[in-house]
Amino acid sequence: MTKAVLRRLYQSRRQALSEAEYAERNEQIFNQFRSRFPVYENIAKPLTIHCFLSSLAKREVDTNPLIQYFLSQPSITLAVPYTHISEERLSHHHYTEGMVLETNRWGIPEPHASTLTIDVAQIDWVLIPLLAFDKRGHRVGYGKGFYDRFLAECRPDTLKIGLSLDEPVERIDDINAYDFSLNYAVTPSRVWDFS
């Protein structure tokens, strides 16, 4: 299937989930993530993790439990995106407990543009919102290219970890040279390893 078809299909599937199904899938994703990517207080190397802030109205994976988990670890610096819509790019801001967020025109919570930024070269892991993905690690986002441009700036060893409410499709038909593959995708039932 093409990305456009998958985008429509999976947006519709998300909206069809009951509140109980949505909550259960989010809890399962959180548990899968913690099981596969344990973070300990005394890890040898501090981590900088970039995590998207969820649009719950769009039924994205709820990253709030992960954010609280990361904030509880002194060895982690947490970055969240700010969308520069007219420039079609993301900037990356240091997230702290209690930070005031604003909602952009797409209904996505964001830090204020003037908050402390984090250089993309510092980012070790990127958690990426997925509408869909395939069994080769290719992803479908919202089609604006913000994450593809961001991932192009990341270090080659930065882990790209997608979060998906659904399991993968067999194959996305219209992958192009600008599309970045995932290292991992976390779903309610398992962690897919593409590395």
Tell me the mean pLDDT in the region 98-114. 88
Q: Is 5 annotated as a binding residue?
A: yes
Chosen CATH of 3-193 out of 1.10.10.10, 3.90.380.10, 1.20.1260.10, 3.40.50.10420:
3.40.50.10420
Q: Is 146 annotated as a binding residue?
A: yes
Phi-psi region of 6 (alpha: psi -120 to 50; beta: other; left: phi over 0): alpha
Instruction: Tell me what percent of the residues of the chain surpass a pLDDT of 90.
Output: 77
Q: Kindly list the domain boundaries of the chain, sorted by start residue.
A: 3-193
Tell me the mean pLDDT in the region 183-191. 98
Q: Is 107 annotated as a binding residue?
A: no
pLDDT, residue 145, reads: 86
Q: Report whether pLDDT(115) > 70.
A: yes
Instruction: Please say whether the dihedral angle defined by the alpha carbons of residues 145, 150, 151 and 156, taken in this order, is positive or negative.
Output: positive
pLDDT, residue 69, reads: 93
Model confidence at 43, pLDDT cuts 50, 70, 90, reads low
Q: Is 78 annotated as a binding residue?
A: no
Q: Is 171 annotated as a binding residue?
A: no
Q: Report whether pLDDT(182) > 90.
A: yes
Model confidence at 45, pLDDT cuts 50, 70, 90, reads confident
CA dihedral defined by 81, 23, 183, 153, rounded to 10 degrees? -10
Q: Is 45 annotated as a binding residue?
A: no
pLDDT, residue 144, reads: 83
Q: Is 10 annotated as a binding residue?
A: no
Q: Report whether pLDDT(42) > 80.
A: no
Tell me the mean pLDDT in the region 119-143. 95
